[in-house]
Structure 1
Amino acid sequence: MVVYHFSAALSLIIVIVLIALRRLNRRDDGKLRRPPGPPGLPIIGNMLQFDPSNVHICLSNLSKKYGPLVFMKFPSAPMIVISSARLAKEALKDNDLAFSSRPSSYSLAKLSYNNLDIIFSPYNDYWRDMRKMIVHRLFTPEQVNNFRHAREDEVSLMIKEISQQANSNGVVNLSKAAMSFASNVTSRVTLGKRFDEIGSRKTRFEKLLNEIQAIKLLLFVGDYYPVLGWIDRLSGKISRVDKVVKDMDTLFQQLIDEHLSPNRPHYMDGDFLDILFQFREQQSSSVPFDWDNIKALLMNLFLAATDPTAAIITWVMTALIKKSSTLKKVQEEIRGHVGNKGIVDEDDINKLPYLKAVVKETLRFYPPSPLLPRATTVRCNLDGYEIEPNTMVMVNVWDIGRDPEYWDNPNEFLPERFLTSNIDFKGHDYGLIPFGSGRRRCPGYSLGVTQVELALANLLYSFDWKLPHGVRQEDIDIETEPGAIVHKKNALLLMVERYIV
């Protein structure tokens, strides 16, 4: 009974303090011209209107009601949602510096070894230094070309594996094949060996990647009310994150130890991990660079390269199988150019404009990262409204790709729109920003797109894809799994009716 009264009294004190703080905050809020948005509740603000399982759709629905710039209030900080190309340009180009940071959370801080990475870390001197090193050493055109053999080799292996499946039962799990290809390419580029060669750790690593994506979606009370952080510990969320981070650190340490072995095979020389070792040995940056820095960047490389690549390949094939005329047109282009060569190499890709248009249209219609999270660094003005520093920002790339002010027939899958347009995904055309824009644009997007285009060209060249017996085009669903990277919820199962060996 004493414990009950003590807990009740403590909860009452906490509520009173939070209400007092909220009222203090109101004094400043009243002076600001806020964007429109849904009314919130005392203390929790708009948390009940925020659906973490399908965030981009949830925010899109709010934008339809309140406009392309929506204001929402959360206990820890205000948030704005940007859902038009015009406002994305104003924020990410005209106010690039002001919108250059990231929202913080317990799980992201732990995954990034206390903000030592370049994806989740806030905007500061350390982040600028790290990003500069990564861009100038890892993702140069020379480095992208250095791994051409690995990409082409993995494509050949994927085609052989699909042929074997086709000989067995004719049904291919495209989602699984895409993930296997993406994992193996990422592993070879980063570690110098195939993901499949990690052995028994492969299953561990697959589970680890899935768990990392899951904990990124967790809502922590302590992120909103630091004084109530003990609730996250009681609920088991803290221990869940800590276990994932410990497992990740153990695996990364094993991979680093293998790389440091003097008996390692020569084919591992020159991979990304080798370059990260050079960063540590040379200490060429203005900030210390040690093992935790390497592990944080390893986490970035695996998360940013594996999931998006697999998701894009799956969504392209989903879009094509749902629209047979487009599938036929892109296959005719590829086969007409390549002829009887037997495989599409990277020299062929730039001569396939319709294939490139299909990839662009998929990035518009099914962006792998439907939301770009940002945080403001200073007070600024957006569309005539005042935005405070430390405001969370969600740029709804999914919604922007359907912006009727920017796109004709935005709800139709029409690759032809890009055949007569110079619009690209490099971050300068704000109706198509799947990889971000400005300072926070993904530094490795060119490497990712290169392997996506190569894989798709060979899948479409080598096989004729059909729906399984009894399945119609309208039966192919486009439901998504919750996550920062949006995967197709149900695996894409297709039949190979004819294939070239």
Structure 2
Amino acid sequence: MDYLQHLLIPIVSTLLLLFLLKSFRNSKSTGKYPPSPPALPFIGHLHLLKSRLPTSLENLAKRYGPLMRIRLGANEFVVASDEKSAREILKTFDADFASKFMPGLTNFHLYEDSSFIGAPYSDYWKLMKTLCMTRLFTGSQLDRFIGIGEEETCKLIKLLLMRSKAGEPCDLTEELSEVTNNMIYRMIVGRRCSKNLGQAAEIRNFILDSLEHAAKFDLGEMFGPLQKFDLFGNGKKIKSALMGYDRLIEQIMKDYEDNDLNNCGNDHEKDVMDILLETYKDTNAKVKLTRDQIKNFFMEIFMAGVDTIIAAIRTAMAELINHPNILKRLREEIDSVVGNNRLNDESSASKLPYLQAVVMETLRLHHPSPILRRLSRKDSKINGFDVKKGSRVFINIHTIMRDPNHYEEPEKFKPERFLANRAEVKGQDFHYIPFGSGRRACPGSYLAIPVMHLVIGALIQCFDWEVKDGDKADNKAKGSGYSGACPSPLMCYPNARFDPFQE
């Protein structure tokens, strides 16, 4: 015990001295910086974040303003919580905030410095963004993905019809997880492996394991003084899951390479793996892709795509079940446009404005990723305050898309608000930025929106929904609001009302 005391005293004294020196330097600064709540030594403002991160930041912003500073452990953040600040960061000074920062969970990442979603603004990021916008998620690839989505949706409806006939409940979240995972798997490696959906299930399990353990980290472990320590073994479990994923994706990549990569014609015939391995093998490329970058890119597609699409569809269905009048109005629109002799498909979406409004309202009220991350590349002045180069920035879209000055009754699920006032999904209306805006806007919107239209429309067209063991579906957000918590189960009975496959 004496030894431990002698060891701790100099450590604590040193940390306290560093804290006081930093506080003194900040107090001598002449810049006009955003306001900040009183902080505690070492932990900063972690003690003020008592609920989910978006909600805690929203409550602090009500006291300290729409642009404020908080400190989580040794890391300081600027938090933007209003439309004006978001517009300046994401549009006016977009180039100055074109980089992102990664949380402390990167300590347990298998592919260090290989992220596309979290990459700094660099030649690698520019290459991948160009590929996404010109070859991976557009044109023939997008058409192919929509075709895959329609096929997998048919499989989902057939499965639910069997459940209905047997009078069995289903976990709609689990069913959505499988169909969405299969969609993305077939989009990535469909040319070689479309019949081997067992691999899709393996990848899904590895990803779910890593997300489950990542969700167990609290904010102190992600950003605070303990971020480099794996106190409860969750970091080790994340690495173990990612190693399983690595073995599987390496096997798939080798299968492509062993089966003559170049024996494929135009982009219409290629899948995403074809295109990336082609870029990887290009000896004339100015920016060389690594195998780790390709593996990490696919993992991020699964993490960002599968988890967020499932969460969005699940919350939309829960809201519709809990609001029967809205569900009735949506069903009447689908029946009048699509009819009773075919299943809803992507071609119908443009003729279903209320379905589009339901999707938009779901993303406004229950966005799966309620906080955007940015890293300032130079000194800037935002909303009248100085933001230093290297500042980490949170943009709280949870708060921005609930602004009572712009949305009447912002906490209520009211799709009709988007019939009278159509917001721009692509991020030009800064009251509504579910996919971000500017250079770092999410390219996945081109995939996510069609899938939501397709699946939600089919589920409402074909079934009446009854919650198992209750009248209302649980739609409360789980997790910290920052880490990748998996969507919670939604147990219900799918009672068939229309069978599009009946001859």
TM-score, normalization by structure 2:
0.89
Distance 1:465 1:198 in 2: 28
Per-residue Cα deviation, 1:184-233 (whole angstroms, up to 9, x for no partner): 101110121788934377256324334235326635769655xx77x615
* Other structure's SS at 2:95 match: coil
> Structure 1 residue 180 and structure 2 residue 192: aligned?
no
Distance 1:19 1:77 in 2: 12
Q: CA deviation at 1:277?
A: 0.7
> Structure 1 residue 50 and structure 2 residue 49: aligned?
yes
- Which residue matches 1:362? 362
Per-residue Cα deviation, 1:382-429 (whole angstroms, up to 9, x for no partner): 111111222222111111111012222322221111112231221111
- Which residue matches 2:113? 115
Pairing partner for 1:73 from 71, 78, 98:
71
Distance 1:208 1:365 in 2: 26
Distance 1:57 1:494 in 2: 33
- Which residue matches 2:477? 480
Taking only the aligned residue pairs, the percentage that are identical comes to 28
1:44-193 superposed matches below 5 A = 44-51=43-50, 54-108=52-106, 111=109, 113-192=111-190
Q: CA deviation at 1:78?
A: 1.8
Q: CA deviation at 1:236?
A: 3.8
Deviates more, 1:134-143 or 1:153-162: 134-143
Distance 2:467 2:206 in 1: 30
* Other structure's SS at 2:373 match: strand
Per-residue Cα deviation, 1:444-475 (whole angstroms, up to 9, x for no partner): 2111111111111111112222344x622xx3
- Which residue matches 1:295? 295
Distance 1:288 1:105 in 2: 26
Q: Which amino acid aligns with 1:478?
A: N
CA contact (8 A) 2:108 2:235 kept: no
Distance 1:439 1:139 in 2: 16
Distance 1:315 1:222 in 2: 27
> Structure 1 residue 257 and structure 2 residue 254: aligned?
yes
> Structure 1 residue 232 and structure 2 residue 225: aligned?
no
Distance 1:245 1:487 in 2: 17
Q: Which amino acid aligns with 1:126?
A: Y
- Which residue matches 1:38? 37
| Structure 2 unmatched runs, 5+ | none
Q: Which amino acid aligns with 1:326?
A: I
CA contact (8 A) 2:426 2:433 kept: yes
* Other structure's SS at 1:73 match: strand
CA contact (8 A) 2:181 2:200 kept: no
- Which residue matches 2:387? 387
- Which residue matches 2:196? 197
Distance 1:418 1:5 in 2: 62
Deviates more, 1:288-297 or 1:278-287: 278-287
- Which residue matches 1:498? 497
CA contact (8 A) 1:368 1:434 kept: no
| Structure 1 unmatched runs, 5+ | none
- Which residue matches 1:432? 432
CA contact (8 A) 1:479 1:490 kept: no
Distance 1:48 1:382 in 2: 27
Q: CA deviation at 1:440?
A: 0.9
1:303-322 superposed matches below 5 A = 303-322=303-322
Per-residue Cα deviation, 1:101-142 (whole angstroms, up to 9, x for no partner): 212334336537222221112222332232222222211233
CA RMSD between the two structures: 3.0
Q: CA deviation at 1:269?
A: 5.9
Distance 2:386 2:288 in 1: 37
- Which residue matches 2:371? 371
CA contact (8 A) 1:117 1:297 kept: yes
Deviates more, 1:255-264 or 1:416-425: 255-264
Measured at CA, do residues 100 and 216 of structure 1 come closer, stay the same or move farther in structure 2, by a change above 3 Å? Answer: farther
Deviates more, 1:321-330 or 1:138-147: 138-147
- Which residue matches 1:323? 323
Deviates more, 1:85-94 or 1:279-288: 279-288
* Other structure's SS at 2:393 match: strand
Q: Which amino acid aligns with 2:246?
A: D
CA contact (8 A) 1:464 1:499 kept: no
TM-score, normalization by structure 1:
0.89
Measured at CA, do residues 497 and 349 of structure 1 come closer, stay the same or move farther in structure 2, by a change above 3 Å? Answer: same
Distance 1:34 1:196 in 2: 57
Q: CA deviation at 1:307?
A: 0.8
Deviates more, 1:314-323 or 1:369-378: 369-378
Deviates more, 1:333-342 or 1:482-491: 482-491
Distance 1:175 1:110 in 2: 28
* Other structure's SS at 2:105 match: helix
Distance 2:340 2:222 in 1: 61
Q: CA deviation at 1:13?
A: 5.4
CA contact (8 A) 2:43 2:74 kept: no
CA contact (8 A) 1:357 1:418 kept: yes
- Which residue matches 2:338? 338
Distance 1:201 1:191 in 2: 10
Measured at CA, do residues 305 and 169 of structure 1 come closer, stay the same or move farther in structure 2, by a change above 3 Å? Answer: same
